[in-house]
């Protein structure tokens, strides 16, 4: 399998899909990545920043990923 720009884009789409599928209460809380409550003015840790990144990716990329996934599936069906 050759390394190409398309395979890199496809890997990024798969990673975005994986992040959007993560459920906070069912999966992340069981692993120990539940929401931490910090005091006012304290610097958030790396775990809190990653949780905020996951929430923002789910919020912003949910609708565009549907269209991108449909395009990639059609592209794979047509060109193999």
Residue 53 host element (H or E): helix 46-79
pLDDT at 1: 58
Which pTM does this prediction carry? 0.70
State residue 67 phi and psi, 5-degree precision: -65, -40
pLDDT greater than 80 at residue 80: no
Range of the domain at 15: 5-36+44-79
Percent of the chain predicted with pLDDT > 70 = 80
- d(C-alpha 32, C-alpha 46), whole Å: 14
Mean pLDDT estimate for the chain: 82
Average pLDDT over every residue of 24-28: 71
**Integer angstrom CA distances of residue 7 from 1, 13, 37, 64:** 9, 10, 39, 19
pLDDT at 50 over 70: yes
Instruction: State how many domains the chain has.
Output: 1
User: Is the pLDDT confidence value at 67 over 90?
Assistant: yes
């Amino acid at each position: 399998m050759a390394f190409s720009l398309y395979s890199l884009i496809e890997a990024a789409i798969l990673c975005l899909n994986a992040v959007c599928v993560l459920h906070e209460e069912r999966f992340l809380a069981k692993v120990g990545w539940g929401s931490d409550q910090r005091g006012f003015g304290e610097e958030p840790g790396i775990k809190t920043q990653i949780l905020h990144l996951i929430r923002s990716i789910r919020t912003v990329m949910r609708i565009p990923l549907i269209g991108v996934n449909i395009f990639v599936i059609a592209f794979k069906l047509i060109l193999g």
